[in-house]
Amino acid sequence: MTQRHAPSTTATAPSSPPVTPDGRYIVVRGQLWRRSDPGLAPVEREALVAALMRARRAVRDAKAEGGAALAEARAAVDAAKHGLGERGPPWWTDGTPDYNRHLARNTPYAAWFAAIEEEAGEG
């Protein structure tokens, strides 16, 4: 009889991506990605995140089909991300430029990012 083994519990979950000191971006593979608007009401955020997850599943399901279904699903992802503040005009109002999708090392966050990379390398 074949014995089944439970998945290993020794593997650790990946840590959360670093967040810039001002809370505007996360860094994934050296690239800045805009975070959701912290000013959204919790109920609104929950609804938008649920819509985003539904839209992402629709994209997954429509990829084989392509065409209008895929375009519609991608538009739904885009709409949810705009609602969350991750796309479109920045949600902050102090006039600071938006560095979404820029390499952290090519932005004003370069020194901060170099320091966290150095710290991570020592671990």
- For residue range 31-58, what is the model confidence (pLDDT) as tens digits? 999 999 999 999 999 999 999 999 999 9
Distance CA 32, CA 20 (A): 9
Whether 57 contacts 77, CB under 8 Å: no
- The pLDDT value recorded for residue 5 is 42
Whether 28 contacts 16, CB under 8 Å: no
Whether 8 contacts 1, CB under 8 Å: no
Find, among 29, 77, 84, 107, the residue nearest to 98 by Cα: 107
Whether 40 contacts 84, CB under 8 Å: yes
Find, among 73, 49, 75, the residue nearest to 59 by Cα: 73
Mean pLDDT score, 61-69: 90
Whether 26 contacts 99, CB under 8 Å: no
Work out the angle at residue 111's Cα, subtended by the Cα atoms of residues 95 and 105, and round it to the nearest 5 degrees. Answer: 80
Q: Report the predicted TM-score, pTM, of the whole model to 2 decimal places.
A: 0.79
